[in-house]
Chain A
Amino acid sequence: MADVVVKTEKVVKEYRMGTNVLRALDGIDLEIYSGEYISLMGPSGSGKSTLFNMIGALDLPTAGRVFIDGQDMGRLSQSQIAWFRCHRVGYIFQSYNLLHVMTALENVTLPMIFAGLSTSERRDKGAELLDRVGLGERIHHRPDELSGGQRQRVAIARAFANGPSIILADEPTANLDTVIGREIIDLIKQLNVDQGVTVISATHDLKMLDVSDRIVDIRDGLVERIRNRDEIEIQVGEVGGH
């Protein structure tokens, strides 16, 4: 079996709203292997984004632990967490989350600034990444001059800025139409194969099924079941047949 890159141990997340406590994650145990493409699926409100935030060190669990590359995320200092977000993980969001005052190139090179690269290194690497996602001609455009699919491509290039080992994508295709969504999925899959990065994606999108190595079904904050690729093949056939 391949190396474990992400491991969650009984991860619980509760949100407190006044006197109500909402248990969004109810003890998630999950192991994710290096280089795999894994999809978190489940109905709206099942806890996919919450789990995404825990795995990406974007929020702290109420209980339980998250290990990435064997490191307990709960034990890292502020500075180590920043370093980790900068170097180890690339994030892709449903709403792109580009900085709208910056051009495509500046968005892509921002994480490189945080990593301490020089201006010329940043420019070269940024242009190369944008070229790789098919935006070589548009590097000086701002997000509001780009289509949704193009914005998501910028976000993907940005996620790869510092050579991460994990890509976390929360519903990357939810705001895109079927064709463009398909292109984005294929692009992520291609980078997954070419670079060997681990892709963890939360999604409703059935188009994700046939690029995923494994599917984790989340329901009510619990892992309901985990399906492998061979089991998925059949399901995709079913979906197509309907």
Chain B
Amino acid sequence: MEQQTRGTIGQQIELPFMESVRISFQSLMIRFGRSVITTAGITLGIAFLVSVLVNNEVSVAMKESGSKQEITTFEAEEPKGISMKDKWLIIMSLIVCVVGIANSMLMAVTERFQEIGTMKCLGALDRFVVRLFLLESGFQGLAGALIGALIGCLGSLLLGLKDYGLDLFFYFPMLPVLNEQPARFGVLLIILAGCVLGMILSVIGAAFPAWRAAKLPPAEAMRTEV
């Protein structure tokens, strides 16, 4: 039929990056309550990890400084390096961190499948949807991890004060000491690493479900109930 050839179909355009940033930020702020809960998952994981690492750093530093309390205890026979118990704690906290963040993001994205389907009905490209969620989770991850890192660090500091008293401030391992065996990272670097890790984990945690939802035909995405 001749009439049937009249329509022409264009290519969908890419959106300016700032438009995505604006939408994702607005989306985070408006569902503030929900965002805080998701972010709290990230905060907890990173706080745990950072506090374990800082604790460890502090105790190594204090040991080296020859702080009296430490030398008289059982750890005297193993003066350097990380003890088994601490290694175990670090591994545990890493697992808690990864699982907690992945879980928070998975929940947060899954409950928005309908929104994703709707946006696709309105003409959103798959990669726009994914980008939106990457940005959102990136903001969230950074904010959550920064707060978590500070809380974790503060917690360890208080603990250290209790154990070592004001000596702590003289020997506080703020900066990395790389020429030592084993190398020590210092608290600043740990906080930085915590932030980066939290952000990366939450971006990865969100990217997977967001990508899956964006690939679905909109009819299916919109059917999905949580």
Contacts and interface: CB of A to CB of B under 8 A. Distances in A.
Interface string B197-208: 000000000000
A97 B19 contact: no
Interface in A18-77: 53, 56, 58-60, 67-71, 76-77
Interface stretch (B123-131, B148-156, B168-176): B123-131
Interface stretch (A82-90, A179-187, A195-203, A214-222): A82-90
A120 interface: no
A160 interface: no
B121 interface: yes
B75 interface: no
A61 B181 CA distance: 64
Interface stretch (A106-114, A131-139, A205-213, A233-241): A106-114
Given A58-B121, A86-B122, A87-B123, A97 B114 contact: yes
A85 B121 contact: yes
Contact of B218 (A58, A78, A86): A58
B217 A59 contact: yes
Contact of B15 (A80, A111, A114): A114
A84 B122 contact: no
Contacts of A80: 9-12
A78 B126 contact: yes
Interface stretch (B26-34, B39-47, B80-88, B98-106): B26-34
B162 interface: no
Contacts of B220: 59
A78 B123 CA distance: 10
Interface in B167-195: none
B15 A79 contact: no
A72 to B, nearest CB: 10
B60 interface: no
A87 B27 CA distance: 25
A194 interface: no
Interface in B86-134: 114-115, 117-126, 128
Given A79-B12, A101-B26, A114-B15, A71 B123 contact: no
Contact of B3 (A4, A77, A86, A113): A4
Contacts of A193: none
Interface in A107-131: 110-111, 113-116
A220 B219 CA distance: 20
A113 B132 CA distance: 14
Contacts, number: 106
B217 A83 contact: no
A93 B114 CA distance: 12
A189 interface: no
Interface residues of B, number: 36
A97 B121 CA distance: 10
Interface residues of A, number: 41
A91 B11 CA distance: 20
Contact of A97 (B11, B27, B118, B128): B118
Interface string B3-33: 1111101111101000100010011001100
Nearest to B221: A58
B10 A83 contact: yes
A85 B118 CA distance: 11
Contact of B7 (A53, A58, A71): A71
Contacts of A85: 120-123, 218
B121 A91 contact: yes
Given A59-B219, A101-B26, A101-B30, A82 B123 contact: yes
A67 B4 contact: yes
Contact of A7 (B4, B11, B27, B114): B4
A70 B3 contact: yes
B157 interface: no
Interface of A: 3-4, 7, 53, 56, 58-60, 67-71, 76-80, 82-88, 91, 93, 97-99, 101-102, 110-111, 113-116, 158, 161-162
19 contacts: A3-B6, A4-B1, A4-B3, A4-B4, A7-B4, A53-B219, A59-B219, A67-B4, A70-B5, A77-B11, A78-B125, A84-B9, A97-B121, A98-B118, A99-B119, A101-B31, A114-B123, A158-B122, A162-B123
